[in-house]
Structure 1
Amino acid sequence: MKIALIVGIDYYQNVSGLHGCVNDAYSVESMLKRNDGGSINFKTKLVTSSGPTDQVNKRELKDLINVLFSQKAEVALFYFAGHGYIEANGGYLVASDATHGDDGVSLNEILAMANRSPATNKIIILDSCHSGIAGTSMENADISHLSDGMTILTASTAEQYASEENGSGIFTTLMVDALSGSAANLVGQVTPGSIYAHIDQSLGDWDKQRPVFKTNVKNFVSLREVTPPIILEDLRSIVEYFPVAGHEFQLDPTFEAELKGRDEGMPEPIEANTLIFKRLQKFNRLNLLEPVNAPHMWSAAMESKSCRLTALGEHYRRLVEKELI
């Protein structure tokens, strides 16, 4: 069972309101609720505040977080979009009824709940200002206290603000893009690590906010499954053509189905070989394979040269060899 508490707060009684947090919460829930193709993914609870009639107060927010991390789930995920606050004693998530920034739910308390959780994987995702302080020891800023299975992903460092753009948080926009498939691996899995990598690469070095990623896990869990860019049967066939590391697969003109560009006396295409070549070309397009001493795969075949796996291709070859795919 995978469960997620998703909170977005735009309305605040005593501090300035926000504009994109509720939209962000709906977008995140839409992505997490179902995998690509419609299968059930997370069981979600969505809580939002857009006006005085639907406030999310401190007591309610704290209770909801406590219930989430009390469940014995495969994954317990908490997402928050709203105001964040930092002071000498730590950081806070600000609820609708807060009179001051430190009148919110303490990030130290949230981390304590998550660290005690019976859930196998605990994931905290925060799109709020100063959220990078989450998990940091107050005694030593270089130390994080994360129990086994804990992952924290935040929109900014402890010193930075989290920005909104076009009615949505910049961080969450990139996260939703990652969940939609931009950060998927070749078997269609989107993990917290791949989400962070996607966001980190999308924000330039001069951006005023940088994401923070902290984790203590033995294996990354998939947060969403999307349609893989290659049929798994095709991917598993990689060991047929490259049985050992460093192997080169020899090509010749019989692998190329195109008749144009052939010199006189060249052998005709062989159907079985052209089918193999189509698969090898898929590997090439996914950066799993490269021609040797040729500008592209067509030239490698027509000039009877070979192809070999890239570093990424060798990685997937090993996974297939170990029956991990």
Structure 2
Amino acid sequence: MRIALIVGINHYEHGDSLHGCVNDAHEVKAVLERHDGGAVNFDCRLLAGTGPAESVSRGTLRDQIEQLFKVDADIALLYFAGHGHIEATGGYLLASDSRRGDEGVSLSEVLTFANNSPAKNKIIILDSCHSGIAGTPPNAEQLASLTEGLTVLTASTKDQYATEENGRGVFTTLLVDSLNGSAANLTGDITPGSVYAHIDQSLGAWEQRPVFKTNVKQFVSLRKSAPSIAIDELRRINEFFPRPGYFFKLDPTFEPEAKGRDEGMPPPDPENTRIFAILQRFNRLNLLVPVDAPHMWNAAMESKSCRLTALGEHYRRLVQNNRI
């Protein structure tokens, strides 16, 4: 069971309202509810503070977060987009009715709920100002309080603001892009680590900096995207390259095109051309490279070889060890 509480608050009764948080929450909900291809993923609950008639009170926000982390789920995920506040006592998530910063839901309390949760994996994603303080107790600058199975991903450091552009949060735009597949590995899995890597690479040193804190033995997949290559084809990598450093020998029978052949060259062989098509897909994914030839076509026509890259060797080991 995978559950998610998605919160977006634009309306604030006693402070400046925001504009993109509710839209961001709807985007996150839409992408988390189903895997690529339509299979059910997270069971999502949405809290949206759009205006006076539909607001999110502090009590409701706190109670819903507490309820989320009471469930014995495989993954319990909290996403919050809205105002954040920081002071000497720690960080806070502000609700629609918060009159001052310390009237929000304390991040220390949120971490306590998550740390005590029976869920196997707890994930907290915060698109709010100063959210990077999450997981760091007051007066303990170098101490992170995360129990096993807990991951925190935030839009900015504790000293930074989280910005909006074109009616959406900069952080959440990158988050949704990563969940839509830009952070997927070759098998289509999108993990908290790959999401952070995508966001981190997309933001410059002078922009808001995302923060990633985790205490896990292995990453879980947040969403399945369409794999870059058919899994049954990827599994053949160990067949073609049975050991590290192996060179796969090519010849003109692997190239399906008759054009460009010198007189006396052997014709294409149907089985070899099918293998060559897979090897070319490996090449496009940087899993292998031709040896002493500029392109795979040259390697075949000149009877040369191809070999795995470091990435290809990584996937060869995964297949060899039945990890794929």
Q: TM-score, normalised by structure 2?
A: 0.99
Secondary structure of 1:53's counterpart equals coil
Name the aligned partner's letter for residue 84 of structure 1. G
Letter in 1 for 2:268: P
Q: d(CA) in 1 for partners of 2:206 and 2:255? A: 47
Deviation at 1:205, TM superposition (A): 2.3
Indicate whether 1:95 and 2:91 are aligned.
no
Write out per-residue CA displacement over residues 19-54 of structure 1, whole angstroms, 9 at most, x where no aligned residue.
000000000000000111111100110010110011
Q: Distance in 1 between matches of 2:30 and 2:221?
A: 16
Match of 2:320 in 1: 321
Aligned-pair identity (%): 65
1:282 aligns with 2:256: no
Partner Cα separation in structure 2 for residue 308 and residue 197 of structure 1: 28
Which 4+ stretches in 1 moved above 6 angstroms?
none
TM-superposed deviation, 1:308: 0.7
Q: Indicate yes or no: 2:107 matched with 1:107.
A: yes
Return the alpha-carbon distance in structure 2 between the equivalents of residues 17 and 137 of structure 1.
Answer: 28
30-39 vs 257-266, which moves further:
257-266
Q: Distance in 2 between matches of 1:302 and 1:139?
A: 67
Cα deviation, 1:295-315, whole Å, max 9, x if unaligned, reads: 111111111111111111111
Q: In the alignment, is residue 256 of structure 1 matched against residue 252 of structure 2? A: no
Does structure 1 residue 269 correspond to structure 2 residue 268? Answer: yes
Aligned-residue RMSD, C-alpha:
0.8
Q: Is the counterpart of residue 10 in structure 1 residue 14 in structure 2?
A: no
DSSP 3-state at the match of 2:6: strand
Q: Which amino acid aligns with 2:42?
A: F
Query: Aligned letter for 1:194?
Result: S
Opposite residue 215 of structure 1, the aligned amino acid is T
Residues 42-121 of structure 1 aligned to structure 2 (within 5 Å): 42-121=42-121
* Cα deviation, residue 268, structure 1: 1.2
Residues matched between the structures, number: 324
- Residue 228 of structure 2 aligns with which residue? 229
The residue that corresponds to 1:123 in the other structure is 123
Secondary structure at the counterpart of residue 101 of structure 2:
coil
Report SS of the residue matched to 2:103.
Answer: coil
Taking the aligned partners of 1:141 and 1:254, their CA distance within structure 2 comes to 64
Q: Determine the C-alpha separation between the residues in 2 that align with 1:131 and 1:298.
A: 52
Q: How does 1:171-250 map to 2 (within 5 A)?
A: 171-207=171-207, 209-250=208-249
| CA deviations over 1:141-161 (Å, ceiling 9, x no partner) | 122110000000000011110
Provide TM-score, normalisation by structure 1: 0.98
Q: Which structure 2 residues correspond to residues 144-159 of structure 1 after superposition, within 5 A?
A: 144-159=144-159
Shift of 1:240: 0.5
Give the stretch that moved more between structures: 133-142 or 175-184.
133-142
Amino acid at match of 1:288: L
- Determine the C-alpha separation between the residues in 1 that align with 2:55 and 2:119: 28
Counterpart position of 2:300: 301
Residue 273 of structure 1: how far off its partner (Å): 0.5
Letter in 2 for 1:78: L
**2:132 aligned partner:** 132
Q: Distance in 2 between matches of 1:241 and 1:205?
A: 42
* In structure 2, C-alpha distance between the alignment counterparts of 1:221 and 1:144, rounded to whole Å: 21
